Amino acid sequence: MPPSLKLVPSDPDGSGRARYALLAQALRRRIQAGEWVPGVALPSEQTLAQESQVALGTMRRALQLLVDEGLIERVHGRGTFVREGLSGASMLRFFRFDAEHGSVPRSTILSARRAVPPAEVLRLLGRPPAQEALQLKRLRSIDDAPCLLETIWLPLPEFEALVDDDTATWADLLYPMYAQRCGVRVHRAVDTIAFGHLAAAQARRLDLTAGHPCAVVHRAAYDIAGRCVEVRVTRGDANAFHYTVTLT
């Protein structure tokens, strides 16, 4: 019986948390430690309840907490699985370009080099001052028309395999490549939207004029253990910005 789940008391630290919340915490730690990797099925609810010596209903509530936070998913008729993570999390959902629905923009890596990121990027990546990271400059196009300009920061040594790599061989979607070549899986991302104006060099890349209004999407992407593994800034024509939120 895993010691992390054995006879979980109702309130071991006096925090007032219910037993199912403590069970969820223990399961989360096991997933983050790699006991169950993305795509792998967890043991049955009955098995987990028996090994932790709790009622089945308590275990189900614990698992539901992890479903609600997107760590695991239930597949009808198959079981409960650790989520694979994000494959693309397309920035196109923020913009309306003349593109076929569901199409993947073409990706062109303009540059890839070691550099020291800004202080805020280092803070997000959890790195000390002046530590180098891999900086990517990327242009995304639809039907050969440029639409998005990106600056991407990736921590080292986690992404060392991409340093000096032939960027011409890279796929249009980066997240599957991160997993395949570097063993880094993006589990979730937080996007923050702002607006600004394009500098002259940025405008030239997007076939726009200097000072043109742009939407700016700041992204911090995290692995399954909650570590920030990518910081990205995406710029696109503000006149193409389009985002719909449904409130219920």
Domains of the chain: 19-82 (1.10.10.10), 91-240 (3.40.1410.10)
Quote the distance between the C-alpha of residue 126 and its chain's center.
16
How far is Cα 221 from Cα 121, in angstroms, rounded to an integer? 12
The interaxial angle of helices 45-52 and 19-32, nearest 10 deg, is 110
How far is Cα 72 from Cα 83, in angstroms, rounded to an integer? 5
Residue 178 CB: number of other CB atoms within 10 A?
24
Residue 147: is it exposed, middle or buried by C-beta count within 10 angstroms (0-12/13-18/19+)?
buried
How far is Cα 198 from Cα 203, in angstroms, rounded to an integer? 5
pLDDT, one tens digit per residue, over 38-66 is 888 999 999 999 988 999 999 999 999 88
Residue 53 CB: number of other CB atoms within 10 A?
11
pLDDT 10s digit of each residue in the chain, 248 long? 454 454 454 544 444 468 889 998 888 888 877 788 788 899 999 999 998 899 999 999 999 988 887 788 898 888 898 887 776 667 888 888 765 545 668 999 999 999 999 999 999 999 999 999 999 999 999 988 999 999 999 999 999 999 999 999 998 889 989 988 998 989 889 999 999 999 999 999 999 999 999 999 999 999 988 899 999 999 999 999 988 878 86
